[in-house]
């Protein structure tokens, strides 16, 4: 399926993990996907942990979840702030209700835990979130990328190539049908000649 013209939403707050923000942005844009960056304020610069800025084009209040093919949440310290914002929690719940792909790396699952949408899922994350995820009802595994239905998760910066490739593959094949759960658990990134739907 051609994904050019589809839209992905990324949450932004200060002290995001710089590579976990910019690597997905660039790879998604290369694939022809429009990326919207949402923060507390639109047209505002936010700084990553290492000082690399990103500029939002939307506020959380302006987001219409139905307009997007998927949601991606970078890690760093930002998720600890993001999970305290009611609009962020509602957006995450909206994506989950519509069974749209949700990608979370490193500390990003904190947002999904606060939204109470990880129960029954198998996920990975930065090691320190293992207990948090388990307490929220998820099964935690130590793998570079895990896909369980509509959720894609990864542990750290080193997992970005597998994480983003799997997210794009799922965007290509997703119909957003609530009656058709999205696939299976992936415990490694597939070889180039394999489909994410295997």
Is residue 72 domain-resident?
A: yes
Is residue 115 domain-resident?
A: yes
CATH number for position 126 = 3.40.50.880
> So which residues are the catalytic ones?
106-107
Q: Higher model confidence: residue 177 or residue 65?
A: 65
For residue 97, the enclosing domain spans: 7-173
Is residue 38 domain-resident?
A: yes
Burial label for 119, CB within 10 Å (0-12, 13-18, 19+), is exposed
Average pLDDT on 85-105 reads 97
Is residue 64 domain-resident?
A: yes
Quick one: pLDDT band at residue 178, thresholds 50, 70, 90? very low
Q: What's the pLDDT score for residue 1?
A: 54
pLDDT at 25 over 60: yes
Cβ pair 11, 27 in contact under 8 A = no
Is residue 158 domain-resident?
A: yes
**In sequence order, what are the beta bridge partners of 73?**
104
Is residue 132 domain-resident?
A: yes
Q: Higher model confidence: residue 181 or residue 24?
A: 24
Is residue 154 domain-resident?
A: yes
Structure token pair of residue 68: 């997007």
Is residue 117 domain-resident?
A: yes
Separation of alpha carbons 153 and 189, rounded Å: 12
Query: Domain tally for the chain?
Result: 1
pTM of the model: 0.90
């Amino acid at each position: 399926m051609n994904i050019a013209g589809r839209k992905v939403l990324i949450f932004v707050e200060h002290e995001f993990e710089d590579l976990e923000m910019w690597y997905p942005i660039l790879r998604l844009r290369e694939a022809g996907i429009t990326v919207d960056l949402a923060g507390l304020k639109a047209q505002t610069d936010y700084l990553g942990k290492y000082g690399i800025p990103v500029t939002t084009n939307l506020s959380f209040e302006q987001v219409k979840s139905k307009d997007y093919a998927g949601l991606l949440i970078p890690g760093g310290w930002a998720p600890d702030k993001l999970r305290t914002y009611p609009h962020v929690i509602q957006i995450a719940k909206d994506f989950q209700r519509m069974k749209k792909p949700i990608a979370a790396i490193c500390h990003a699952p904190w947002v999904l835990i606060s939204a109470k949408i990880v129960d029954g899922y198998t996920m990975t994350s930065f090691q320190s979130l293992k207990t948090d995820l388990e307490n929220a009802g998820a099964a935690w595994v130590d793998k570079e990328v895990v896909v369980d239905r509509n959720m894609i998760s990864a542990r750290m910066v080193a997992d970005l190539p597998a994480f983003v490739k799997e997210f794009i593959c799922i965007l290509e094949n997703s119909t957003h049908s609530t009656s058709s759960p999205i696939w299976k658990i992936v415990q490694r990134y597939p070889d180039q000649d394999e489909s994410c739907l295997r």
